[in-house]
């Protein structure tokens, strides 16, 4: 989206003009301090350097993004680090099944989850706890039944959620719901 990119670029130019330091320089200063939490970074930038809330927030986000390990070979790897590693085979099964539904499936890893899109987003895979993946589904006219529950507070962009803990939980019933959501998104 060009206008959003332009707005961010303008925001960063304004930060550099007001402070004399580019975002990359601020990120280096933050990294040198060794902060690990967004709130710590914000407080330090505002108190010690007089940055506005917006500029401090932007620098904090950039610093944390820069510090987060990311694999270019596997953009979803960061979701399954540490105690969530055991969920990776389940995630792989869900994504492989979804990709097999059609050549138009886009798998889009984000910071905390993975979107599955066609013309519209039809599903979301999220390692919510160390023992559970949540599968968000967009199913317009389906009533909740059994493991297919209303999404509730899980994610307002989805109508339903299925909680998956083992590869066996991703059975024919769940696969049929995922295929239905794919169909509705076309």
Domains in the chain: boundaries? 2-67, 77-184
Burial 101-124 (b: 16+ CB within 10 A, else e): beeebeeebeeebbbbbbeebbbb
Cα distances (Å, whole numbers) of residue 135 to 73, 115, 116: 24, 10, 10
Q: Rounded to whole angstroms, how far apart are CA atoms 124 and 144?
A: 17
Closest CA to 127 of 169, 172, 85: 85
Encode pLDDT of 4-46 as tens digits: 677 778 888 988 899 999 888 898 898 888 888 889 999 999 9
Does the pLDDT value for residue 116 go beyond 50? Answer: yes
Does the pLDDT value for residue 1 go beyond 50? Answer: no
pLDDT of residue 60: 87
pLDDT of residue 63: 83
**Average pLDDT for the chain:** 90
pLDDT of residue 20: 93
Does the pLDDT value for residue 66 go beyond 80? Answer: no
In the 3-class helix/strand/coil scheme, how is 25-39 assigned residue by residue? HHHHHHHHHCCCCHH
pTM of the predicted protein model: 0.63
Question: How many CB atoms within 10 Å of residue 99?
Answer: 13
Q: What are phi and psi of 2, to 5 degrees?
A: -60, -40
């Amino acid at each position: 989206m060009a206008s959003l990119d332009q707005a961010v670029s303008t925001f960063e130019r304004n930060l550099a003009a007001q402070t004399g330091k580019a975002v990359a320089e601020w990120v280096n200063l933050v990294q040198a301090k060794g902060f690990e939490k967004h709130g710590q970074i914000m407080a330090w930038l505002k108190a010690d350097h007089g940055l506005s809330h917006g500029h401090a927030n932007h620098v904090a986000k950039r610093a944390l993004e820069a510090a987060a390990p990311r694999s270019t070979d596997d953009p979803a790897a960061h979701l399954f680090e540490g105690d969530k590693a055991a969920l990776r085979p389940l995630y792989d099964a869900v994504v492989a099944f979804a990709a097999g539904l059609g050549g138009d499936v886009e798998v889009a890893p984000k910071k905390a989850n993975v979107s599955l899109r066609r013309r519209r987003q039809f599903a979301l895979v999220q390692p919510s706890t160390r023992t559970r993946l949540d599968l968000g589904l967009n199913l317009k006219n389906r009533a909740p039944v059994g493991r297919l529950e209303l999404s509730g507070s899980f994610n307002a962009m989805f109508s339903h959620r299925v909680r998956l803990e083992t590869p066996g939980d991703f059975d024919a019933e769940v696969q049929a719901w995922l295929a239905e959501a794919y169909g509705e998104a076309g």
